[in-house]
Amino acid sequence: MRLDKLLANMGFGTRSEMRRAVKQGIVTVDDMTIKDFGFTLDPEVADVRYDGERVVYREVIYVMLHKPQGVVSATEDSRDRTVIDLLDPNDRVLQPFPVGRLDKDTEGLLLLTNDGKLAHDLLSPRKHVPKIYEADVLGDVGTDDIVAFAAGVALDDGYVTMPAQLIIDSQEMSDDGLMSHITLTIHEGKFHQVKRMFEAVGKKVVYLRRISMGPLQLDPELSLGDYRALTEAELESLLSVHDKEVSAD
């Protein structure tokens, strides 16, 4: 790879800015000052430094984000702040995108990557990747709802969901009425699905948070709006998804 291309791709500046920087002698390769911006190297082997800072070469990025409310799951938006806006510039330069989406008012686990194959595998209907949510639901969620969700419920457009696993964690009275705190596992990702499933049984979701997607669990140490790179073990578990095609039975 050309030296100027490497520096630009890793977020140190534009291609023209990097050419000027190289000519100024502030870039070294294996402890040698290089002033030829067309110098070619193996980015995975060479020790490249920009003004003393190590240039770490990456082609792909895998990020776990604890999405806050008020941020949209998109790469760009003309009105709202996006999840990409929460990333540092040196991570944005790799052009990651959200895998699936969380509603603007939904919190929780969101994976961002530029690995299109992994994203496709995680979102493919054939994979039936489980997604687990915690929610506060206004209304008396009971055994009838557990049974209905296990059988699949008809949404407002007539679509019948796949069987889902509903757990009632606790209930308490609030100013608005009885509040049920639940955990729900679904195996698909229709638009506003969790909210629409509860609307189908006469309840209203007032707070929603995703805590897992397939084998990936939301890090409890990750504050709202913060993110981190996936660990090697987390990445390996996600990459194994493409080998699994779960039957709809």
| Residues 219, 230 contacting (CB under 8 angstroms) | no
| Residues 232, 68 contacting (CB under 8 angstroms) | no
Tell me the DSSP string of the chain: -BHHHHHHHTTSS-HHHHHHHHHTT-EEETTEE---TT-B--TTTS-EEETTEE----S--EEEEEEPTT-BSSS--SSS-BGGGGS-HHHHTT--EESS---TT-EEEEEEES-HHHHHHHH-TTT---EEEEEEEES---HHHHHHHHH--B-TTSPBPPP-EEEEEEEEEETTEEEEEEEEEESS--TTHHHHHHHHTT-EEEEEEEEEETTEE--TT--TT-EEEPPHHHHHHHHGGGG------
| Residues 12, 18 contacting (CB under 8 angstroms) | yes
| Residues 133, 110 contacting (CB under 8 angstroms) | no
* Residue 86 token pair: 């929460």
Q: Which of 77, 85, 103, 105 is catalytic?
A: 103
Q: Is 31 a catalytic residue?
A: no
Strands 204-213 and 107-113: parallel
Q: Which residues are catalytically annotated?
A: 103
